[in-house]
Amino acid sequence: MSTRCGCIKFRTVGFVDRNEGKTTVRRSTALVLTLVLLQSTGALAGILALNSGPRQVTLLELYTSQGCSSCPPAERWLHEYLENEDLWSRIVPLAFHVDYWDYLGWKDKYARPENGERQRAYAWLGRTRGVYTPGLFVNGREWRGWMLRVNPRASDKVPGNLSVTVENNEVDATFEAETGPYELHVALMGFGIQTNVERGENRNSILRQDFVVLEHQSYPSSNGHWHVPLSRARPEADRYGIAVWVSSPGNPAPVQATGGWLPAGNQR
C-alpha cells in the first residue's frame, strides 16, 4: 500500500479565636479532615480510578510527524482539548508519531514503526482512503472534520463500562461486556513536550506537542480482566497521562475507552 503525505499537505486552615486552646483544637480537626479527604480520593497513595460509563467514549487518534510541515496545525487543534470539559469523560485524544517521514531530513524521536503499522491496519480494513499525515481517526474511522475546527460527534453505542485502576505503575482493568475475547491497550502519553527542529520541512521551528504517545502496549484476555504493568519509561515532559481502551483481536478499532492524568505516585 502506498504512503503519501496527508490530506492537507498531503504532506492549614485555622480559625481566629480568643481562646488559644480552642484554636489549636480546631486547627487540628481541620488537618485531620484534610488528610481523610486526601486519602479517600487516593491523592496520597497515587491511585487513579477511571470508569468510562456504559456509553462509548470517543477515542481520537492523530497520526503525525515532526518531519511533516502539515502536521503542526493539526497538533495545535488537538492541543485545544486540554481546555475541553469533555476531556477524559467523553473523549480521549492521542497523538501517534509515525516514522515514515524521517527520511525527509528530521528523525522524530517519538516516532515508532508500530504506530505506522497501526495506521496501515486501518487502511487494510478499509477504514481510511490512504496512509498520510496528519491523519485523524474517530473510534477507528478516518475523520477530517478537524479542518473545519469542529469536534467529532458523540457515539450512540453502548458497549459497556471499562473500569481501570492505576497504582504503583500497575494497571487493573475490567471490561463489563457479554461477548469477548478482547485486547486491552495501554498508552502512556506526554504533555508539554518541546522540540527544536533543526532540519527537514519544519526546520528552525519549535514544536510544542501534547497527547504524545510515549509507549503503547496491548494485552489479550478471554474474560475481560487484566492486571498489567505500566511502562516506567518517562521521557521528559511537563505532565503525563494515560489512555486505556479495548478492541477485538485483530481489529485496531476501539470498542470502549477511558483515560486521565497520572497522579504523582505513578510519574516515575
Q: pLDDT class for 236, splitting at 50, 70, 90?
A: confident
Distance CA 119, CA 235 (A): 23
Looking at the predicted structure, is the pLDDT value of residue 17 above 70? no
Q: Grid cell 516515575 — which residue? A: 268
| Residue 266 pLDDT grade (very low, low, confident, very high; cuts 50, 70, 90) | low
Which pLDDT value is given to residue 41?
37
Give the pLDDT confidence score for residue 83 in this predicted structure. 97
| 131 secondary structure, DSSP code | B
Contacts of 168 (CB under 8 A, 6+ apart): 46, 265, 266
Q: What is the mean pLDDT of residues 207-221?
A: 97
Residues 156-193: tens digit of each pLDDT:
999 999 999 999 999 999 998 877 799 999 999 999 99
pLDDT above 70 as % of the chain: 82
Cβ neighbors of 164 (< 8 A, separation 6 or more) are: 48, 49, 50, 51, 171, 172, 173, 244, 258
d(CA 137, CA 92): 12
